[in-house]
Amino acid sequence: MTAPESDRGNAFAVGPGTRPEMHAALVSAIRSVGGALVPIERAEVLIWDDPGAAEVFGDYLAGGPGVRWVQLPWAGIEAFLPHLDHEHIWTSGKDVYSRPVAEWIVAALLTAFRDFHEFARARSWPPQSGHNLLGSSLTVLGAGGITRALLELLEPWGCHVTVVRRSSEPLAGAEATLSTDRLHEAVADADAVVVALALTDDTRGIVDAGVLDAMRPDAWLVNVARGGHVVSPDLVEALRSGSIAGAFLDVTDPEPLPDDHPLWALDNCVITPHVGNTPRMGLPLLAHRVATNARNWIDGRPLVGVVDVDTGY
């Protein structure tokens, strides 16, 4: 089967193939919508099937001079940023993984608020402690797919959610939406501050000593975005001094966090190994997204999850 004589061809390469399970799932996704699988040399579309293989991406793409659209497999695409250009259409997995990641946030909030991290370590009957997520006040940094999914999951919980975003444009489901220049004000009353931002030059290190000092001493920091959003030494100091109650981190800087990092020794810090979304959770969701986009491509419809090359997400 060759590419049809239309504006968009039906010629998909799925590579580099270094993750067999992901490769198989994405090949199936392309086939499920009638996509033709071809070598990269003849492909119009590259479905990249290994989020860990960014170092070979440039050479691989160079082997496909006819490629017009590249589908990247993950929501965070930092590793691929050097390759972004205006010669190709780029799509990422953004929003695909929003619900599992939003679920991770709720799990972190509940574990922290109800002291389950301490109960999990207990080897004798501990004193009662904990408070409710129900009706609590949350401040969320970021107004993307994860935040929207979080607001959906929490809808019956009666939480008071403040969203901080670049603009102050209101987000449905949030009680208040503040622009980033009011960040210290936005975190001051929260039971927890949740970081759910993309990592850009503007947001790197956004949670620093100033933000941590502005938080309540009984408030939790929850980071499910990227380790680089938080200034690690400032966080260690805040956790040691008790200027915040604790931190729940799915991402660290560096990652994986080395065994001798001081965060491991702090009882009020819980670290999960980047499991907001795991392959087990995410691969079926990604395969569904790829199938949808492949059909959109074949049918000449707009793609989902298009990356803004200038902002990098």
Give the active site residues.
226, 255, 274
Question: Binding to a second copy (CB under 8 A): which residues in 165-194?
Answer: none
CB nearer to a second copy: give 114 or 204.
114
Q: Which stretch binds a second copy (CB under 8 A): 17-25, 217-225, 265-273, 291-299?
A: 265-273
Instruction: Out of 43, 96, 257, 298, name the contact with a second copy by CB under 8 A.
Output: 257
Distance CA 30, CA 12 (A): 8
Q: Does 157 bind a second copy (CB under 8 A)?
A: yes
Distances (CA, A) of 53 to 49, 91, 290: 9, 17, 18
Q: Does 32 bind a second copy (CB under 8 A)?
A: no
- Min CB(218)–a second copy separation in Å: 12
Distances (CA, A) of 25 to 53, 225, 284, 308: 17, 26, 8, 26
Distance CA 180, CA 162 (A): 12
Q: Which stretch binds a second copy (CB under 8 A): 27-35, 102-110, 170-178, 186-194?
A: 102-110
Please tell me the count of residues contacting a second copy according to CB under 8 A.
50
- Quick note: the x/- pattern for a second copy over 134-153, rule CB under 8 A, is x-----------------xx
Distances (CA, A) of 221 to 109, 139, 190, 212, 255: 9, 10, 10, 8, 18
CB nearer to a second copy: give 20 or 125.
125
CB nearer to a second copy: give 210 or 284.
284
Question: Binding to a second copy (CB under 8 A): which residues in 267-296?
Answer: 270-275, 278-281
How many CB atoms within 10 Å of residue 99?
19
Instruction: Out of 7, 59, 259, 299, name the contact with a second copy by CB under 8 A.
Output: 259
Contact 178, 164 (CB under 8 A): yes
Contact 250, 276 (CB under 8 A): yes
- Min CB(63)–a second copy separation in Å: 31
CB nearer to a second copy: give 56 or 122.
122
Q: Does 106 bind a second copy (CB under 8 A)?
A: yes
Question: Binding to a second copy (CB under 8 A): which residues in 107-136?
Answer: 107-108, 110-111, 114-134
- Min CB(197)–a second copy separation in Å: 22
- Min CB(157)–a second copy separation in Å: 7
- Quick note: the x/- pattern for a second copy over 75-94, rule CB under 8 A, is --------------------
Distance CA 148, CA 194 (A): 13
In the chain, the N- to C-terminal Cα span, in Å, equals 34
CB nearer to a second copy: give 28 or 119.
119
For a second copy, the binding residues (CB under 8 A) are 99-100, 103-104, 106-108, 110-111, 114-134, 152-153, 155-157, 256-257, 259, 264-265, 270-275, 278-281
